Amino acid sequence: MTARRAIKTRSSLPQVKRIVVKVGSSSLTSLAGGISDEALVKLSNVIAARRKEGIEIILVSSGAISAGVSPLGLTSRPRHLSSQQAAASVGQGLLMARYHDAFAAHGVIVGQVLLTLDDLMRRSHHTNAHRAMERLLNFGVVPIVNENDAVASQEIRFGDNDRLAALVAHLVKADVLVLLSDVDSLYDGPPKDGAKRIPEVSGPKDLEGVNIGSTGAAGTGTGGMATKVEAAIIAASSGIPALVTSTDNAEDALAGKDVGTWFSAKGRRKPIRKLWLEHVARIQGSLIVDDGAAKAVGEKRRSLLPAGIVEVKGNFESGDPVAITNQHGVAIAHGLVNYDSKELPQMLGRSTRELAKELGHEYERSVVHVDDLVLLRKRLPTS
């Protein structure tokens, strides 16, 4: 597939070729009532209509865990992983059955794709997921994606489908990512205080002073506004514009009308591993560095050497993701560390040559290599 130019405004949305649409649990389900047929059918109608016009759509749908709650006789979203897995296993089947029927009414076929983090991160799995998705789209199918909650362990879970959707958009080289939830737009404050809608975000400046809440309203979803904004930024920083709006606005959004908050594409496509390291990876510890090292890493794009590290925090193993933090406590980068936290203290402040002489040649390598390092943008304000 040849590279396409990112669309600049939401009004171009009807002309795009490939869209990833993500819908949240709270738009489709309630804990007491399970799946809301009305909402699911309404959304399926909108997507099926676009699919029939030739637009390729990948739907990332949450709702499996929530849909499995009531059939299992539970009263609230389970907290233990094994019960969440059981609920997801039951709910995912129910969800797909409903989607199948709703799309079949338009003659559109759907296909289930359940992904784990590994499927997106490991090159061989990544290629496989990509190939499967392309083939489904060629067949005219609407792939319906969810995290493989029934088998995902706590450590490797995404947990929220917002960031999963951003990585899927990257995987399939989507033209745009549309994130649907129960909130119609980003606002510059609490709506009850007369806050104004933020129609467009073209950089971190547009989010200054905006407090992005962190929890969903209905208790069914996991992400809240913060993960939506994070997902929109992941996509935008990798060249894919994103629109954040409500499921009720889905039809208007896909028609390019002036709804929601539009995140214009900023960066160029980057390796998925770097997106993961910046936004998704669980950071296991931090390396506090002096000003010289902060500059070398942050401005000169160099590897981090032991000489510039003043302190090590946390317990981690070689290969784990860690933060590189300056002496003012600001994380400037994330990277994969080459040593265990136990090995590092004896190395701090010393040159690699000295260490190699004293401890052996394996101590000549950098602490974080520049290829395994990603600089951080300004963090987002969240409550």
Binding site for ligand GLU (CB under 6 A): 25, 62-66, 88, 146-147, 149, 160-161, 221-223
User: Who contacts 22 (Cβ-Cβ below 8 Å, separation ≥6)?
Assistant: 59, 60, 61, 62, 161, 162, 165, 177, 178, 179, 180, 231
CB of 167 to ligand GLU, least distance (A): 13
Q: Which of 199, 204, 288, 279 is nearest to 235 (CA)?
A: 279
Nearest CA to 43 among 250, 204, 188?
250
Place of tokens 């009263």: 75
- Report d(CA 48, CA 60) in Å as an integer: 14
Pairing state of beta strands 331-337 and 368-375? antiparallel
DSSP codes joined into one string, 144-160: EEEE-TTT--TTT---S
**Least distance CB 36 / ligand GLU (angstroms):** 14
Question: For residues 93 and 203, which CB has a smaller minimum distance to ligand GLU in the complex?
Answer: 93
- The least distance separating ligand GLU from the CB of residue 220, rounded to whole angstroms, comes to 8
Nearer to ligand GLU, 65 or 254 (CB): 65
Shortest Cβ 114–ligand GLU spacing (Å): 9
At closest approach, how far in Å is the CB of 131 from ligand GLU? 23
CB of 266 to ligand GLU, least distance (A): 24
Closer residue to ligand GLU, CB minimum distance, 44 or 161: 161
CB of 102 to ligand GLU, least distance (A): 17
* Nearer residue to ligand GLU within complex by CB, 23 or 333: 23
**343, containing H or E segment:** none
- Using the structure block, give the residue that is written with the tokens 């609230």: 76
Using DSSP, state whether 73 is helix, strand or coil. Answer: coil
Q: DSSP E strands: which ranges in 80-234?
A: 110-115, 142-147, 176-181, 186-187, 197-198, 200-201
- Closer to ligand GLU by CB, 111 or 223: give it: 223
Assign 334 to helix, strand or coil: strand
Closer to ligand GLU by Cβ: residue 108 or 179 = 179
Q: Which is nearer to ligand GLU, 25 or 341 (CB)?
A: 25
Report the DSSP pairing between strands 110-115 and 176-181: unpaired
Closer by beta carbon to ligand GLU, 88 or else 323: 88
The runs of H, that is alpha helices, within 23-116 are 25-28, 37-52, 64-69, 81-104
Shortest Å distance, C-beta 80 to ligand GLU? 15
Give the residue with the Cβ less far from ligand GLU, 25 or 366.
Answer: 25
Q: State whether residue 10 is helix, strand or coil.
A: helix
Smallest distance, ligand GLU to C-beta of residue 159, A: 7
Is there a contact between 71 and 90 (Cβ–Cβ < 8 Å)?
A: yes
Three-state DSSP string of 269-330: CCCHHHHHHHHHCCCCCEEEECHHHHHHHHCCCCCECHHHEEEEECCCCCCCEEEEECCCCC
Least Cβ distance, residue 160 to ligand GLU (angstroms): 4
Which residue number, 53 or 155, has a Cβ lying nearer to ligand GLU?
Answer: 155
Contact between 106 and 167 (Cβ < 8 Å): no
In terms of DSSP bridges, do strands 242-246 and 176-181 run parallel, antiparallel, or are they unpaired? Answer: parallel
